[in-house]
Structure 1
Amino acid sequence: MRETREKHAAHEEACPKFRVPELFGGIPDLLAFETTRNGGVSNGPYSSLNLGTNTADSPDRVRRNTELLFRDTGVDPSRTVRSVQVHGTKILHATSPGSLEGYDAFITGTENLFLLIATADCYPILLFDPINRAVAAIHAGWKGTAGRIAQKTVESMRQAFGTRPETLLAAIGTGISGPAYEVAGDVAEQFPVSCILPPVTQGAGPRLDLSAANRIQLEEAAVPSSSIECSPFCSFSESSSFFSHRRDHGVTGRMLSVIGLTEN
């Protein structure tokens, strides 16, 4: 048992609670990161940093995990915005904290307001406008991506803050990678051919690269390719680091991606 605990501790030291996209590293007055599954108190399929409030995990453990994460990252728990996500394209211009329902993207120019997106295969996308000091957080599964939620969020930032896409920085976080994501033919038909991989075996469905699809949409919205970072990780294949709804047949936790402006 002691050896098992030591191995677990060594693994969690090597795989931290969260990672900051390189594109956002060192930017003053910006807090942005995505979590892994490590460093929390949950057990079983939710081990260990489950941050999903709509899972079957113990609510007390989810609350404790959230406290631990926010303590380590400096997020004020009274200044967060999150939603029960519905795989749609509804975007909220957030000006105050709250727990909502029906939104899959947030934008804000309000300081010390932290936007939260929960994922376990879908893609989190974080946007930062350094000129007008505004941020966005997007939940992009295949339905939201087919609905062009990333492009719609860029347009919402343009209307709300005067954001010019040419100046945006975008981080596409960790989700299920193309090689691991088999989809039905009618789903694949909604995406560019360049985002579709052939079936692994005869009779299997095509595979969809959602990260590439969202990158293409951001580029089509005039975000420079050099200003888009894509996570190299896969939530499905890297079970020691990430939760995956598909891999674990729905019985799993959630990661959080967070972005917010801190005070000058």
Structure 2
Amino acid sequence: MNIPNQPKISAKRVSVYYGAKRAIDDVSLDFDERYVTALIGPSGCGKSTFLRTLNRMNDTVPNARVEGDITLDGENIYDPSMDVVQLRARVGMVFQKPNPFPKSIFENVAYGPRIHGLAANKTQMAEIVEQSLRRAGLWDEVKDRLSDSGTALSGGQQQRLCIARAIAVDPEVILMDEPCSALDPIATAKIEELIHELNGRYAIVIVTHNMQQAARVSQRTAFFHLGTVVEYGATSDIFTNPRQERTKDYITGRYG
């Protein structure tokens, strides 16, 4: 179990290389399960690359190399003995573009629990699916059409289905990579509301290019620029009283 005051997930001096190119340079950040942490910064500054180190998604990128230490509850996630499938169940991910499986709504949510053997029978599986869809704020909209394809839902519903799929395996951390960038304002508001509801139940790390969104949903913010973290602290401080000139310039729209 997580020791009080120990961060849920901790990155120490992390650098990421794509071949010879360094995309992340010596980043150290701690993530607490009591907070939503937003990663902000201009396009190409390394936010998403860094996010992907937290559940070893960069393993899937040819010639990507990660240096430094990342621990989950004090355990090194890059240790050769770490089961990556198990790690990604503990550290779930929601991508920029909704990516439901070409299966029924029910099967999208049941997929993870089935792989990990979380349900002993059909009744338990149905309970997990219902609870996950309820937590994702989607149950009332889909409960009468669970056998319909997940890809037939609207974009905003598909993204909430992907969140339901992520939480169905009972993760400890949820990573969100610009989860609203493909959505309209109404769907975006629903996802933001959902992040508020999930807050405190999971450590949530969200990459967003939308500073208003970061201010609305997070309690901690890290400002990335050119592959480094310029400033990290309470969201209210970063937005109203940044310590670094570069942060101030970005927040006030001088570049980005």
**Fold shared, TM-score > 0.5 on shorter chain:** no
Query: Whose helix proportion is higher, 1 or 2?
Result: 2
User: TM-score range with shorter-chain normalisation?
Assistant: 0.3 to 0.5
TM-score (norm 1): 0.32
TM-score (norm 2): 0.33
Q: Larger relative CO (CA 8 A, sep 6+): 1 or 2?
A: 2
